[in-house]
Amino acid sequence: MAETMKFPGWHGTTIIGVKKNGQVAIVGDGQVTLGQTVIKGSARKVRRISPGGFDVVCGFAGSTADAFTLLERLEAKLEASPGQLARASVELAKDWRMDKYLRNLEAMLIVTDGNDLLVITGAGDVLEPEHDIAAIGSGGNFALAAARALDGSDLSAEQVARRALEIAAEICVYTNGNVTVEVIDA
């Protein structure tokens, strides 16, 4: 019987969000890999969207096409519920879980409007992280641990998030130090 080659999948994302002292910073690395090969080192996985003049910062991990589909859907939900990030996120998560097409999307999002910091998953979850720190992707656990250790310092939200991502990049082979940073005030 012939063995079937399984597509190795896309890896290579670390996104971290840190909420501290009235600011939220979301930082993402730029590496995308296919199997053991780095395809791109400068991908931009953190974006600011402004549906109806309402600023939201989003970071995504997973398949790029899937993440862009979700970002477009989130934008539409925010246009329908301006200024209500939590409500729009819950509506997106419901659609994501119930819709046959969306259910197959492989991505996760960290989103913030400066007040709420949320993780949205394809399992229908909208999570508000403990300790005001959220991390997703291949190096997410490394970045989360580093940020939790740095959280009690005098560093700003951006400094904590940047340093945590640097530490993750030193440990996780699917994470690099080419970062995109977006900061939003409460």
The residues assigned a catalytic role are: 13
Total residues belonging to the chain: 186
State the Cα–Cα distance between residues 106 and 121, nearest whole angstrom: 9
Indicate the helix (H) or strand (E) that contains 158.
Answer: helix 157-171
State the Cα–Cα distance between residues 55 and 34, nearest whole angstrom: 32
State the Cα–Cα distance between residues 72 and 124, nearest whole angstrom: 17
